[in-house]
């Protein structure tokens, strides 16, 4: 274990012997850090927080702070950061609340860029990218492999589907469907297309991409079909493709409504 002499480590923290902690960092009670993780200088980690293997926490990040929720009464909620997560400078990630499941989670392989904020009870999937200064409201869910552009904000309880790509400076107030490329200000977000580049880079079979594309054309480019009619048409004609089935299930389960191709009202 390499601990700089100016770092302050609680006797109630548990650090693997291979962990590195830089100058002036503070690691408080009930923090657990697994093998191979590096904590840079001037980082503050409050507990209960668990950090997985081979993570990198850059300078001035604040992890595990109390949730910014007026109903929070000091309960021992937690932050869980899985393996191989990169958290850049000045990022802040808060613990959960009792009413929100008591846990904030960042999935393995994700990157949280500088100045980003993840509010209480956010659930971030695996291999997610949260770009510089994005601000995620409490209870936001971001599925695996999604990208949230810089300076983007999300409304509380928003959901972002797998492989979705949100352009920088957007304001998310409705759910973003899986595989969508979206951008826009609050109330005017729209789908600009399917994230085909992201799917190809991830190794999706071309036939599967064609299936998803066909579903998108029915769901978002068929002005003569009502919402439920479009969903039923996709399920009847393209059902059985797991990616398409996941897309329609996401839309049917939405409580906030989903971003569409045209202006939201």
Query: Is the distance from CB of 64 to CB of 51 less than 8 angstroms?
Result: no
- Taking the C-alpha atoms of residue 230 and residue 2, their distance in angstroms, rounded to an integer, is 58
Of the listed 137, 138, 150, 161, which one is catalytic? 138
Of the listed 119, 121, 125, 139, which one is catalytic? 121
Tokens of 109: 């392989």
Of the listed 120, 139, 150, 153, which one is catalytic? 120
Tokens of 118: 């993840």
Interior angle at CA 68, CA 62 and CA 69, nearest 5:
155
| Ordered alpha helix ranges (H), the chain | 196-201, 206-220, 227-238, 242-252
Please confirm whether the linkage preceding 48 is cis (ω < 30° from 0): yes
Could you confirm whether 120 is annotated as catalytic? yes
Could you confirm whether 83 is annotated as catalytic? no
For the chain, what is the total number of helices (H) and then of strands (E)? 4, 28
Could you confirm whether 139 is annotated as catalytic? no
Tokens of 37: 């993780």
**DSSP codes joined into one string, 23-87:** TT-EE-TTEEE-TT-EE-TT-EE-SSEEE-TT-EE-TT-EEEEPPS-TT--S---EEEE-TT-EE
State the pairing for strand pair 147-148/129-130: parallel
- What positions carry a catalytic annotation? 120-121, 138
């Amino acid at each position: 274990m390499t601990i700089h002499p100016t770092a302050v480590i609680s006797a109630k923290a548990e650090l693997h012997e291979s962990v590195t902690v830089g100058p002036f960092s503070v690691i408080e009670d009930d923090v657990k850090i697994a093998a191979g993780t590096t904590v840079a200088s001037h980082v503050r980690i409050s507990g209960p927080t668990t950090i997985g293997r081979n993570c990198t926490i850059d300078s001035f990040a604040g992890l595990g702070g109390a949730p910014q929720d007026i109903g929070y009464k000091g309960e021992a909620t937690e932050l869980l950061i899985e393996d191989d997560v990169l958290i850049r400078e000045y990022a802040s990630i808060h613990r959960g609340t009792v009413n929100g499941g008591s846990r904030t989670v960042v999935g393995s392989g994700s990157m949280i860029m500088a100045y980003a904020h993840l509010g209480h009870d956010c659930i971030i999937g695996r291999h997610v990218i949260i770009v510089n200064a994005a601000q995620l409201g409490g209870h936001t869910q971001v599925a695996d492999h999604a990208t949230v552009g810089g300076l983007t904000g999300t409304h509380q309880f928003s959901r972002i589907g797998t492989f979705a790509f949100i352009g920088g400076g957007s304001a998310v107030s409705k759910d973003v469907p899986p595989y969508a490329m979206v951008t826009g200000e609050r109330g005017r977000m729209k789908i600009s297309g399917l994230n085909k580049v992201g799917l190809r880079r991830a190794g999706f079979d071309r036939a599967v991409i064609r299936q998803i594309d066909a579903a998108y054309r029915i769901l978002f480019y068929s002005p003569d079909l009502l919402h439920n009619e479009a969903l039923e048409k996709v399920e009847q004609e393209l059902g059985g493709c797991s990616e398409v089935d996941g897309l329609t299930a996401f839309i049917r389960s939405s409580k906030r409504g989903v971003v569409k191709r045209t202006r939201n009202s």
